[in-house]
Amino acid sequence: MLSFDTLDFTIHEFWELSNALVSNYDTITMSEYLSSKELPEKFALIRHDVDRLPENALETARIESELGIKATYYFRTTKNVFVPEIIKEVSNLGHEVGYHYEVLSETNGDYDKAIAIFEKNLKKFRKICDVNTICMHGRPLSKFDNRDLWKVHDFRKFGLLGEAYLSAGKELNYFSDTGRSWGSKNSLRDFIPGKTENFSVDTTPELIDLVESKKLNNIYILSHPERWSCSMFDWGLYFGMDFAVNFVKKGLMAVRK
């Protein structure tokens, strides 16, 4: 019988990973990475994409704050995610907040409509807190890559330092929990353009071991707070969701090849 204490992607495992990161690396936000003239010798750039369940994001933000970690949280503008009170509290905990945009998918590739919605939504965020960086939402079922918006427009015109994928250097060692694995096998768009994977780990304990080994000078971590469960029921629910989404992704990967 499964024991919740031994499962991966629980809030306990999130704490273990966060504790390993802060114990072995200087932790920085996306804005700090992009604006610092001199980065720490060993650093962990920590990012969270809040696709759903903003309450979970507040829980992980509190854990990180208690450990002394500053991370970057990107919120979507969907009704259930864009909760100003939660966004404000995450910011007040010392974390960076950014816009998790998906406007090209929302407008079916209409660049003019997309940039108008982007500007409107960015203003909504800036009424709550400072926003200096942005990050695209993958929307794997959409044929549009939201990063392509910046092939036509320039995010710097909006007073932004950068975009979490496009502005990330190829020197970064990127690990994402997309698809419930820290490797890239279940990712359609979750990658740094032009970057090839040098290290591959699957489970969180394996990632913790890599962090504690200090083999890497830098680590760029992406996690999705809704995936890190506080109960057996939630864990089972999101395990099933991830399994179904990964199955669909495999089909899309085959078709798009």
Give the residue, 252 or 206, on which the prediction is more confident.
Answer: 206
Identify whether the C-beta of residue 77 lies closer than 8 Å to the C-beta of residue 105.
no
Q: One-letter amino acid identity for 192? A: I
Q: Which is nearest to 134 in space by CA: 27, 56, 30?
A: 30
9: left (phi over 0), alpha (psi -120 to 50) or beta: left
d(CA 247, CA 12): 27
Most confident of 85-94, 184-193, 197-206: 85-94
Least confident of 126-130, 137-141, 177-181, 252-256: 252-256
**pLDDT at residue 1 in the model:** 53
Residue 221 has pLDDT above 80, yes or no: yes
- 48 part of a folded domain: yes
Q: What is the β-pairing status of strands 218-223 and 133-136?
A: unpaired
d(CA 124, CA 130): 11
Residue 235 has pLDDT above 80, yes or no: no
- 43 part of a folded domain: yes
- What percent of the chain is modeled with pLDDT above 90? 75
- 188 part of a folded domain: yes
Identify whether the C-beta of residue 71 lies closer than 8 Å to the C-beta of residue 47.
yes
Question: Residue 10 in 3-state DSSP?
Answer: strand
**pLDDT at residue 161 in the model:** 98
**pLDDT at residue 225 in the model:** 97
- 5 part of a folded domain: no
Residue 254 has pLDDT above 60, yes or no: no
Exposed/middle/buried for 230, CB within 10 Å: 0-12, 13-18, 19+? middle
Residue 89 has pLDDT above 90, yes or no: yes
- 195 part of a folded domain: yes
- 4 part of a folded domain: no
d(CA 56, CA 238): 13
Tell me, what CATH number does 155's domain have? 3.20.20.370
- 173 part of a folded domain: yes
Identify whether the C-beta of residue 99 lies closer than 8 Å to the C-beta of residue 38.
no
Structural domain range at position 147: 13-256
Q: Which two tokens stand for residue 75?
A: 């919120």
pLDDT-derived band at 188 (thresholds 50, 70, 90) equals: low
Task: Read off the pLDDT of residues 119-168 as tens digits, 9 standing for 90 and up.
Answer: 999 999 999 999 999 999 988 888 899 999 999 999 999 999 999 999 99
- 7 part of a folded domain: no
Question: Residue 216 in 3-state DSSP?
Answer: coil
Beta strand residue intervals within the chain, DSSP E: 26-28, 43-50, 72-75, 96-101, 133-136, 162-163, 174-176, 218-223
Residue 251 has pLDDT above 60, yes or no: no
pTM score, whole prediction: 0.91
- Name the DSSP class of 181: S
Counting the structural domains of the chain, the total is: 1
